[in-house]
Structure 1
Amino acid sequence: MLSPSKTADVRYSFTLFERTPNGNQVRVQTDNTHQPFDINEGSKLELGSTAKLRVMATYLEVIAELHARHAGMSAAQLRAQDVAEQDLLSRWAIDYLLRNPDADLSGMLDAALERRYSASPAERFFTGGGLHTFGNFRREDNGRRPTLRESLQESINLPFIRLMRDLVRYSTYQAPGNSAALLKDDKDPRRQEYLSRFADREGTTFLLRFWRKYQGQSAQQRLDTFIGGLRLTDTRLAAVHRYLMPDVDKATFAGFLKAHLPGEPPSAKRIDDLYTRYGPGAFSLPDQGYIARVHPLELWLLAYLIDHPQAAFDDAVTASRDQRQEVYGWLFKSRHKSARDSRIRIMLEVEAFLDIHQRWQNLGYPFEYLVPSLATAIGSSGDRPAALAELIGIIQNDGLRLPTVRIDSLHFATDTPYETRLGHVLEPGRRVMAPEVAAALRGALSQVVDGGTARRLQGTFTLADGSPLTLGGKTGTGDNRLTSVGRGGQVISSRVQNRTATFVFFLGPDHFGTLTAFVPGRAAENFRFTSALPVQVLKGMQPILAPCLQTAARTLCAPPPQEATAQPAR
């Protein structure tokens, strides 16, 4: 998987936890970075298909919600439920309960894992504000229609993209007030609010892009950069100059045109006409941008920085509130309902991801937001190895979220008047997942080892009597790049940021953790390893880990007996 010359360039991070009555005990936490930076707990990395575990957990939780809501209803009550055409998960749940009126939650979850999704990459998905396509790792999967269980086992991308779309639609249609109804009625007063929020969000995104473009430049450098991106005509230059510097005299304006226009300079009459026509207040900001063929907010930002050279980005956002609404004013006036609908869909997707984010945070997701795009299903929102390990711990503990314990006790100043013993205060676990959901996830993760992307671990770990440990986990590979794409969809440039490969796992009933391989920076361009690498490394660690995985008193991970009971710190 790695040539000997490259082995030393890969950074590894490994953690092992043990589930105990006192919490999740940290048994191993190590890396080979030789730096204070902690990949396990201090990073935000795109860990690829490990995100599918979070998507699957959310999906099974939704199925559990639907079972709780509809199980026990009569057939007539089930048929009377008003289900939106696009809410496919609610529709499936009701149809399943009609066919299986006595189904318990475990049976319904098992059936949910057998639902099939197309793996075809031919579809274009409207998500994240635009049209996107996605691919599978293996081309031979493109014509398949696997079950979700098989999709997790073999880490097939497109079924999870489509599953995430169904989760987004479920969140949209099940939200209080059912905001999706906005798409049916163009006169609904709430549409104005959604369009206004779209304008604010979209405008802020563009403003940040332009801010980064000019960051660190002087006023003259900013102007040179801006003009360097224009197709120069006297009309465009006049519109730009009169907006950016409205108080300059005609002679300065004429000098600007002559300095930047190629060929013969404009006549005095033409200069006089341009100076008057594009003077302050003659055109709105959107019109000025149209005349200059630039985004109006880029023009506004340049003018703002001339007047406020020390401003921070947050200052620019605050100052541009009205301009952001003005630039998107056409949305409110457009005769085309479809234009407004597409923007409202963008905001509905953003809202749905807020709901999904809350679900993920409840299971230990460490960051404050998710990228509102279906690509989150395959890792675009980033994750942290320690947080993935916590999710596995929840699954191992039947849905209880236990505290992480690093230190059992501390003993100071032995045999002195100041002798002090400090002990860990036991905290009860908090239920964050139904036990049936946790059991279904354990079964699905076991199949990743039994015949999926982590199958090389089969038979590796056993107990002292030779009986096999039940293993499970999820693999993920991140080839993380900054890619520039042209208007027609062609890739203009692609610059690697880093490469990651992660395996989040459980080993037997009590132990779980993560192993991450990581190459930062441009050096990652020279690597092609996948998540098979950490799986193989974990397999090679078997002789070291085996003594710690034995049950009860046979494990080497148990702390030594203490002479006295530790007291909680005050």
Structure 2
Amino acid sequence: MRHRPWVLLGIALVALAWLASEEIQHSYYQSRFVSEYASHLTYELMDGPSERVIYPEYGPFDHRYGYTALPALLPRLQSLGYSVVSQAQFSDPLLRYVEQGFYPPFDEKTQSGLTINDCRGEPVFSFHYPERYYESYQQVPPLLAEALLFIEDRELLSDEHPNANPAVNWLRLAGASVSLAGSRFNADRSTPGASTIATQIEKFRHSREGRTQGLEDKLMQMGSASVRAYRNGPNTMEARRQLVLDYINTVPLAAAPGHGEVNGVGDGLWVWFSEDIERFSRRLSGAEDLTGQAVALRQALALMIAQRRPSYYLLQGRGDLNSLIDSHLRLLTREGLIEAALRDEALAQPLVFRNWSEEPLRQRFALDKAITVARARLSGLLGQSQYAVDRYDLQAETSLHGELQQQISTYLESLSTPEMAGQIGLLGERLLSPEKVGDVRYSFTLMQHGADGNQVRVQTDNTGLPFDLNEGSKLELGSTAKLRVLATYLGIIAELYEQLSESDQQALTKLRADNENVLAVWAAGYLSANPEATLAQTLEAALERRYSASPDERFFTGGGVQRFGNFLRSDNYRNPTLRESLRESINLPFVRLMRDILRYAIYQSPDSSMNVMRDDGDPARKVYLQRFADKEGQTFLLRFWRKYSGLTEQERLDVFLDGLRPTATRLAAVHRYLYPDADETAFQAFMQTQPGMSELGSARLGSLYRDYGPGRYDLPDQGYIARVHPLELWLVGYLRRQPESSFSDAVQASEAERQEVYGWLFRTRHRSARDSRIRTMLEVEAFLEVHRRWKQMGYPFEHLVPSLGTALGSSGDRPAALAELMGIIQNNGMRFPSRRINDLHFAAGTPYEARLQRPEEVGIQVMHADVAAALKGVLSEVVDGGTARRLQGTFVGVDGQALALGGKTGTGDNRIHSMSASGRSTSSQVMNRTATFVFFLGDDHFGTLTAFVPGKAADGFRFTSALPVQVLKGMAPILQSYLQEGRAVCEVARD
């Protein structure tokens, strides 16, 4: 009796051991318990934003697909105007499960990447990663699966136990545990791993850096893999086959130059062996000869073995890899998995890797310009690199019309042939010659305004380069600048109308007495004579004002004297209205109009007036002279900075001295300023090494050392003695003391020196010298006001060239910015942002799914509606009888009536001129040539078309804006179909 408890305990232990053995073999209880538990780990896509979601913090696949970035991306996008329209929500059990550190169970994607759809929902760009993979287990060559299982888990697909847990191999786990315990007593003892294919997949997808960080991490992998295996029920056979497929398709296989990370056997075969997955599968399945099968088997084993240490085996350790392959071939034969003949053939075949010098990998690049821009915009929107965004689990919708984009891209490409150019009418005077048609590049943008803002329907060019002519350029687009000048002018007239329309006659008479403020004088006179005039009538009258087109006047502008000319000599004797001047693109009236705009801006400044020019005793003059000294000093300082930036101290000195005519006094003045602490010995050594100075005696050198020492002369005098600009001398000395400084540091440090250098301005007896400097500063300040107005209308750059030449395009522009200005005119003075990315759909079908949309845009009124209407009217005249008249009647609506069409032409002959003292050009160097037409079409479309020849080759071209106008005319059949068939409306039902 006394032994009965021990007997019962023994029976119980035996029973427990038997139950454990049965459970290990059949997984009866865990299959039912875990599958029941997994059925509650659900998520659901709900309307609006969700707080019931936990995003992963790390994991290679989670990072690559963008899941780890979503907690930061969603708030960022919301701050940029997007709203979350739907987002996944975790169930309570799933929330608790993930909070404990497990990975959510769902159908993870083998292949993902960025997809961009056009406005109709049609894909226009798709990046698939990995690019090559097996779609189903049935497609996997049996020998590939057998090789994997032989290496990793030989019992995984056994159908003897249909409910088996693939995440845990109990015998391997026990062996690993015993070995691990033994390693504590014997540090040199190796410890086999307990990982299964299931836990390896969890590891390389979701663990930090794709590695097991410790025991807790291993348990998380095992737990997550178990739940994932049972989430569709107790039977795991299908889940186990899926594990084999997932492993083969996604196993990490190092990174390769020109490709980046390599995942999966399909991409691994291509990247490392230049082998196509379909050919590999045929060979490995024995569909070709024995040699082909042997080569494929060797490649398969290489990748299966290399996954343990991919960067080593596939790059540095290829000899070790080959040895392991040979060993595995013998083992496979011994286990009866392959025939001896196949083994022997495989042993005889070399493992041939890709030759990187002869077969380099290059990242696929989207040559379509609009897609390039859309990807760049998307990258900027997300604050991520294009490489990263291409691999995100993301679908984006653009505003582009893919079919129209392709048609117009093809059309522009075709213009490089003389046959097509002749057919379209591009050959002739002020156009092209047959031998040069291939040198011209064309850029086209078409936009459409709707309730949701300005949508970019087409943006393309035929440059064949990633550089974007529409948005990435700064080009002189010639007379298109006249449109900005005219818009500014009419905006000022509208302001004056608002200010003066309620004024009494006395106030109007007083204003008319000041003939310097020409625009205000005219407005006061017109309203005095027409007190009942509406703004629209006033604007029409303003367009009838006349300006001389004479080129005989010399203009003081940009700090000097300049002359301007007209395109046609016959215009030189005209006195056209502004309406006529825009219609026929006459230059000189706009130069004079710009001058009047600047005068108006000067009068609007609260702290200045033309009195500073009239009264030499006005205290404000000193302020302007100081500003001039500061500006002029910075201009010269920047020139010298560019000359010496990036050079060593000795190189700077050599460059400085190379531009100096050497005399003893000049060299002494330079050295004593640059090296004030140098002793007389160092000074003499320097002097005697200079050309022509070796004969100087010690007495003379000693005298020079003392006469030009620190404190004897100020900086301007020191520069005068050396015959160099004082600021150049100062900068070389500053860089010797502060070699790591930036230009902004130099500007800040030279504030006093700049004023000192131009101190003569305050002392000179010549008022004319002061007047010219003050006039320059008044012009600069006025251009700041003009720039503010232009920025409101979408001007893309941060400054204007303070010269009347800006009226003719010298400040540069961008085709896309001109299109935006045309959109403002088209939209009654409302400015809407240009939209390319409308919808963003992250992680579709996953627990991290989120969809964001841009709401309807609210425009900003930047131009009075009457001003926009007046501009639209005069732009229509450019087509009806002006420089774009060849487009008359080209586009018609469904009713057969001509569509409203207007625009502005411009030709930019961008050259660097050498000028004489009289302001005339003595020589020039061509930089590029452009011709642009910015237009509106119908009620809601607008855009630009630009012809461009870069570099010195442009010197051989004489085309004008007639060229892009004719190109647009040739494009009419494509656009006509798009407009008439109703394809302009990109509203389609989407799933």
Q: Do the two structures share a fold, i.e. TM-score over 0.5? A: yes
Give 1:557's aligned residue.
984
Once the two structures are overlaid, the 10-residue window that deviates more, 307-316 or 289-298, is 307-316
Give distance in 2, aligned partners of 1:316 and 1:108: 51
Question: After superposition, where does 1:45-124 map in structure 2 within 5 Å?
Answer: 45-81=475-511, 84-124=514-554
Give distance in 2, aligned partners of 1:461 and 1:482: 39
Give 2:876's aligned residue.
446
Matched, 1:458 2:885: no
Give 2:26's aligned residue.
none
- Structure 1 residues 315 and 422: alpha-carbon distance in aligned structure 2, compared to 1, 3 A threshold: closer
Indicate if the aligned counterparts of 1:179 and 1:348 stay in contact, CA closer than 8 A.
no
| Per-residue deviation, 1:252 | 4.0
Amino acid at match of 2:983: L
| Per-residue deviation, 1:413 | 7.7
2:773 to 340, 343, 352: 343
Once the two structures are overlaid, the 10-residue window that deviates more, 282-291 or 228-237, is 228-237
1:161 to 591, 606, 609: 591
Indicate if the aligned counterparts of 2:932 and 2:947 stay in contact, CA closer than 8 A.
yes
Give distance in 1, aligned partners of 2:921 and 2:658: 23
Once the two structures are overlaid, the 10-residue window that deviates more, 262-271 or 14-23, is 262-271
Give 2:736's aligned residue.
306
Give distance in 1, aligned partners of 2:840 and 2:679: 76
Question: After superposition, where does 1:312-323 map in structure 2 within 5 Å?
Answer: 312-323=742-753
Give distance in 1, aligned partners of 2:778 and 2:765: 21
Give distance in 1, aligned partners of 2:476 and 2:745: 31
Secondary structure (helix, strand or coil) at the match of 2:511 reads: coil
Give 1:401's aligned residue.
831
Give 2:459's aligned residue.
29
- Structure 1 residues 269 and 140: alpha-carbon distance in aligned structure 2, compared to 1, 3 A threshold: farther
- Structure 1 residues 419 and 100: alpha-carbon distance in aligned structure 2, compared to 1, 3 A threshold: same
Amino acid at match of 2:493: I
Give 2:947's aligned residue.
517
1:548 to 978, 983, 988: 978
1:245 to 659, 663, 675: 675
| Per-residue deviation, 1:389 | 0.6
The one-character-per-residue Cα deviations of 1:412-447 (angstroms, maximum 9, x if unpaired) are: 788888876544301222211111111110111111
Amino acid at match of 1:38: D
Give distance in 2, aligned partners of 1:179 and 1:75: 24
Amino acid at match of 1:561: V
- Structure 1 residues 232 and 61: alpha-carbon distance in aligned structure 2, compared to 1, 3 A threshold: same
Matched, 1:366 2:796: yes
| Per-residue deviation, 1:134 | 1.5
Indicate if the aligned counterparts of 2:687 and 2:693 stay in contact, CA closer than 8 A.
no
Indicate if the aligned counterparts of 2:482 and 2:582 stay in contact, CA closer than 8 A.
yes
Matched, 1:43 2:466: no
Amino acid at match of 1:515: L
Once the two structures are overlaid, the 10-residue window that deviates more, 69-78 or 126-135, is 69-78
Once the two structures are overlaid, the 10-residue window that deviates more, 104-113 or 225-234, is 225-234
- Structure 1 residues 134 and 265: alpha-carbon distance in aligned structure 2, compared to 1, 3 A threshold: farther
- Structure 1 residues 211 and 422: alpha-carbon distance in aligned structure 2, compared to 1, 3 A threshold: closer
Give 2:905's aligned residue.
475
The one-character-per-residue Cα deviations of 1:340-361 (angstroms, maximum 9, x if unpaired) are: 2222222211111111111111
Secondary structure (helix, strand or coil) at the match of 1:247 reads: coil
Indicate if the aligned counterparts of 2:511 and 2:521 stay in contact, CA closer than 8 A.
no
Indicate if the aligned counterparts of 1:462 and 1:469 stay in contact, CA closer than 8 A.
yes
2:557 to 98, 119, 127: 127
TM-score, normalised to structure 1's length? 0.92
Give 2:716's aligned residue.
286
| Per-residue deviation, 1:310 | 2.8
Indicate if the aligned counterparts of 1:257 and 1:265 stay in contact, CA closer than 8 A.
no
Question: After superposition, where does 1:399-438 map in structure 2 within 5 Å?
Answer: 399-407=829-837, 409=839, 422-438=852-868
| Per-residue deviation, 1:52 | 0.6
Give 2:192's aligned residue.
none
Give distance in 2, aligned partners of 1:316 and 1:467: 64
| Per-residue deviation, 1:51 | 0.7
- Structure 1 residues 464 and 212: alpha-carbon distance in aligned structure 2, compared to 1, 3 A threshold: same
Give distance in 1, aligned partners of 2:485 and 2:918: 31
CA radius of gyration, larger in: 2
Give distance in 2, aligned partners of 1:504 and 1:193: 42
2:648 to 203, 212, 218: 218
Give 1:529's aligned residue.
959
| Per-residue deviation, 1:491 | 5.2
The one-character-per-residue Cα deviations of 1:246-304 (angstroms, maximum 9, x if unpaired) are: 23333443444444354984454433332222111111100111122221101111111
- Structure 1 residues 26 and 249: alpha-carbon distance in aligned structure 2, compared to 1, 3 A threshold: same
Question: After superposition, where does 1:13-24 map in structure 2 within 5 Å?
Answer: 13-24=443-454
Give 1:568's aligned residue.
none
| Per-residue deviation, 1:232 | 3.2
Higher normalized contact order (CA 8 Å, seq sep 6+, divided by chain length): 1
The one-character-per-residue Cα deviations of 1:505-540 (angstroms, maximum 9, x if unpaired) are: 011222110111222233333333222111111010
Give distance in 2, aligned partners of 1:503 and 1:155: 12
- Structure 1 residues 414 and 180: alpha-carbon distance in aligned structure 2, compared to 1, 3 A threshold: same
Give 1:260's aligned residue.
690
Once the two structures are overlaid, the 10-residue window that deviates more, 391-400 or 83-92, is 83-92
Indicate if the aligned counterparts of 2:443 and 2:462 stay in contact, CA closer than 8 A.
yes
Give distance in 2, aligned partners of 1:259 and 1:413: 72
Secondary structure (helix, strand or coil) at the match of 1:49 reads: helix
Indicate if the aligned counterparts of 2:512 and 2:524 stay in contact, CA closer than 8 A.
no
Secondary structure (helix, strand or coil) at the match of 2:965 reads: helix
Give distance in 2, aligned partners of 1:250 and 1:488: 49
- Structure 1 residues 136 and 324: alpha-carbon distance in aligned structure 2, compared to 1, 3 A threshold: same
Secondary structure (helix, strand or coil) at the match of 1:150 reads: helix
Give distance in 1, aligned partners of 2:619 and 2:842: 67
Once the two structures are overlaid, the 10-residue window that deviates more, 445-454 or 245-254, is 245-254
Give distance in 2, aligned partners of 1:489 and 1:73: 43
Secondary structure (helix, strand or coil) at the match of 2:573 reads: coil
Give distance in 2, aligned partners of 1:423 and 1:503: 33
Secondary structure (helix, strand or coil) at the match of 1:260 reads: coil
Amino acid at match of 1:557: A
Indicate if the aligned counterparts of 2:793 and 2:824 stay in contact, CA closer than 8 A.
yes
- Structure 1 residues 283 and 29: alpha-carbon distance in aligned structure 2, compared to 1, 3 A threshold: same
Indicate if the aligned counterparts of 1:473 and 1:503 stay in contact, CA closer than 8 A.
yes
- Structure 1 residues 418 and 279: alpha-carbon distance in aligned structure 2, compared to 1, 3 A threshold: closer
Report the identity percentage: 64
2:816 to 386, 391, 401: 386
Amino acid at match of 1:103: A
Matched, 1:235 2:665: yes
Matched, 1:189 2:619: yes
Amino acid at match of 2:758: Y
Once the two structures are overlaid, the 10-residue window that deviates more, 509-518 or 306-315, is 306-315
Indicate if the aligned counterparts of 1:233 and 1:261 stay in contact, CA closer than 8 A.
no
| Per-residue deviation, 1:200 | 1.1
The one-character-per-residue Cα deviations of 1:106-148 (angstroms, maximum 9, x if unpaired) are: 1111111111111122222111111112222222222221111
Give 2:566's aligned residue.
136
Indicate if the aligned counterparts of 2:562 and 2:919 stay in contact, CA closer than 8 A.
no
Indicate if the aligned counterparts of 1:13 and 1:31 stay in contact, CA closer than 8 A.
yes
Give 2:930's aligned residue.
500
Give distance in 2, aligned partners of 1:355 and 1:560: 42
Once the two structures are overlaid, the 10-residue window that deviates more, 538-547 or 338-347, is 338-347
Amino acid at match of 2:787: H
> Over aligned residue pairs, what C-alpha RMSD do you find?
2.4
Question: After superposition, where does 1:142-157 map in structure 2 within 5 Å?
Answer: 142-157=572-587
Secondary structure (helix, strand or coil) at the match of 1:131 reads: strand
Amino acid at match of 1:351: E
- Unpaired runs of at least 5, structure 2: 1-430
TM-score, normalised to structure 2's length? 0.54
